[in-house]
Structure 1
């Protein structure tokens, strides 16, 4: 019987804590290599933007195309369910796997990740991901974003040294020797690693491991941030959230009047409100008019989000956002097969770049994401925020934008223009 190669993808999601910090910061030990930091400027880094690198731009566009394509496939099967996942977590894992793929298997992975192989070489893709992972990993007292990989390899399997060197140097992956014949012990080893890397948020992700497993690939993302403009718990009130025309649920609705970059898209009939975190990351909340969710979902493309970004204006609004905690667990294998990654999961899989032994294939791909949005900490911190903005965008009466029906959420890293998370909140009270 041929060995199987079990690939697990993992994410723990967003934990927002709203404390008052006036200036976004993400200085860390890589600062000197990136350039000079100028707080308060529209461009966080002078002469250091990765978007000046053509190879990196191709990576950003392909990652965005993959993210929105993946979302549409998930949404087509989960029409009345909450959705939340990290596209960068998934794409980085498959890119790392591509290091060991050959022939048609390799082509299918990279094209499935939305790369045009006539315009982008494989080496450029790996270099781009390596650069991106390096830039995304950063933390300070108010912001933490960590994304990483780990390989658990059957102790009798001898991976090629080049593969090991590349996953460590490009994808900064850790590599562990594992006895998969002792499936309970292997599960405990992997789950303990996952629990540690996600600060205890993801428990027992891996279950019922096949004793014939040859390798497990884990990817994790942990994101914890503070709202740049916090909500006050004193303003949170119970309100109705309208799941559909017949169903409503009571939710804790946060409220804040203030300046946010916002825009109403007449063509797609939806409100857009960008809510920034300290640390150069922002959440774009998208509120379709009633009955317009499908129209907006179909329009989810890189160019649509680019148009939204350019159209947003800093204006005063009355903002109502529900507190919610959701998670999503996905069988990624079935989704990426629809995106052209077929051979990987069959006897036709060519993973000879991992080990010279024939017969490796991917048996399992698991992805779990968690999201927690709340206003915690504002009163305890005694926070005061003063906003100074141009008054030319003022309304005589600020519009009221109330997220009390199904909405979309895209969390973007502003520096690298990377989509970190995508979600749809159909029912804030529903969990995975």
Structure 2
């Protein structure tokens, strides 16, 4: 079973259809953000949710003006000719682009405002209409109470997987934009419990440890990418269009180089090169949390003014306070990958494909650091890498 969940908080202190362009721009932001965070965390396992981060920043962008808005627009790669409302509509379409079935994919947004401070009617309307966001007054001066309320909401929206993302909050906070995402799905082609065994995982070119490694021998989409010096395989989930890519550098110590090359990559172009092949897959089980402040990464992407005294979020409040700025961007995620899946493969995956084995079956042995993403044709929902156990 595949479980993922993510919680994201933006704290502001002192205060159309999904087009090809918007898809490309969202993926560009996603790969840039992931590459920035992954580079700074080469010794840690990483997982982020670009979609959750983008929707939270998109809501902040709608409330921004001046240089603050310009930097958010450029950082999010929104086209210069696209209106704020147009961008908001694209996020709305994204949030409603998947079909819920037996798979759980929930994205939730909420606005907490200081008691007695009125949100501008237009901002409230956009938050409700395009970001599915509720608004609630909160007594930030009672720090213990405010932290507990926000943490409880995030825990509820992530089915209890994200606990205590906040330990403190500035009592002078005027508004907090809270975003959570939870994903749970079964593999369409499951791994079998009895096939899991202890195998070597190379932490670097010279050091290996034994880790529980799953095995499956089945038909998958597979590709070799010489320009990335890597290979990749795509695993399907049951009852949803999202798929999980595992991208394995050919060299045991090639992850950093791979992630540099993934920055700005056109995933549609990579997808066009998938081949339906019989593949023997060895994939380690993994489960971990990742907790980080996104502020340094966003600043490296050119989103800086919103963290300074020059920030301008005057469109959020009916009567904007002075020096409304973002002081905290906290991100916490959890992931658990194991064998459990449905008892039979989804019929739609193998339509019209003969199941006889080729003369030279492929192997995909994830026995050294690798990257992974969960995406559909619209966006990248999660991205991460595994470097240790």
TM-score normalised by length of structure 1: 0.82
From 314, 320, 328, give the equivalent of 2:276: 314
From 260, 271, 277, give the equivalent of 1:298: 260
| Per-residue Cα deviation, 1:368-398 (whole angstroms, up to 9, x for no partner) | 11111001366xxxx2448665349953031
Residue 80 of structure 1 pairs with residue 40 of structure 2: no
Residue 91 of structure 1 pairs with residue 57 of structure 2: no
* Cα offset, 1:126, TM superposition: 1.1
CA distance in 2, matches of 1:140, 1:160: 36
Residue 289 of structure 1 pairs with residue 250 of structure 2: yes
8 Å contact kept, 2:220–2:278 = yes
CA distance in 1, matches of 2:356, 2:246: 20
8 Å contact kept, 2:188–2:341 = no
Residue 363 of structure 1 pairs with residue 323 of structure 2: no
CA distance in 1, matches of 2:295, 2:84: 22
| Per-residue Cα deviation, 1:217-258 (whole angstroms, up to 9, x for no partner) | 111110001101111101111111111123222211110101
Residue equivalent to 2:76: 113
* Cα offset, 1:404, TM superposition: 0.7
Report matched runs for 1:26-425 at 5 Å.
53=17, 56-117=19-80, 119-136=81-98, 138-141=99-102, 143-278=103-238, 279-290=240-251, 291-355=253-317, 356-376=320-340, 383-385=343-345, 390-391=353-354, 395-414=358-377, 417-425=378-386
8 Å contact kept, 1:412–1:420 = yes
| Per-residue Cα deviation, 1:106-156 (whole angstroms, up to 9, x for no partner) | 111111112231x433222111111111224x4222x01111101111112
State the number of aligned residues: 371
Report matched runs for 1:4-43 at 5 Å.
15=3
CA distance in 1, matches of 2:43, 2:352: 40
CA distance in 2, matches of 1:78, 1:217: 26
CA distance in 2, matches of 1:377, 1:121: 43
* Cα offset, 1:15, TM superposition: 0.6
CA distance in 1, matches of 2:263, 2:272: 14
* Cα offset, 1:331, TM superposition: 0.9
Gaps of 5+ in 1: 1-12, 17-49
| Per-residue Cα deviation, 1:331-355 (whole angstroms, up to 9, x for no partner) | 1111111111111111101111012
* Cα offset, 1:303, TM superposition: 4.2
8 Å contact kept, 1:238–1:251 = yes
* Cα offset, 1:76, TM superposition: 2.2
Q: For 1:411, what is the secondary structure of its paired residue?
A: strand
Q: For 1:334, what is the secondary structure of its paired residue?
A: helix
CA distance in 1, matches of 2:292, 2:68: 22
* Cα offset, 1:104, TM superposition: 1.1
1:256–1:14 distance in 2 versus 1, CA, 3 Å: closer
8 Å contact kept, 1:14–1:370 = no
Note the aligned Cα RMSD (angstroms). 2.0
1:176–1:256 distance in 2 versus 1, CA, 3 Å: same
| Per-residue Cα deviation, 1:169-215 (whole angstroms, up to 9, x for no partner) | 11110111101111111111111111111111111111111111111
8 Å contact kept, 1:149–1:171 = yes
CA distance in 1, matches of 2:96, 2:139: 31
* Cα offset, 1:286, TM superposition: 0.6
8 Å contact kept, 1:260–1:275 = yes
CA distance in 1, matches of 2:147, 2:109: 17
CA distance in 1, matches of 2:231, 2:156: 39
8 Å contact kept, 1:268–1:292 = no
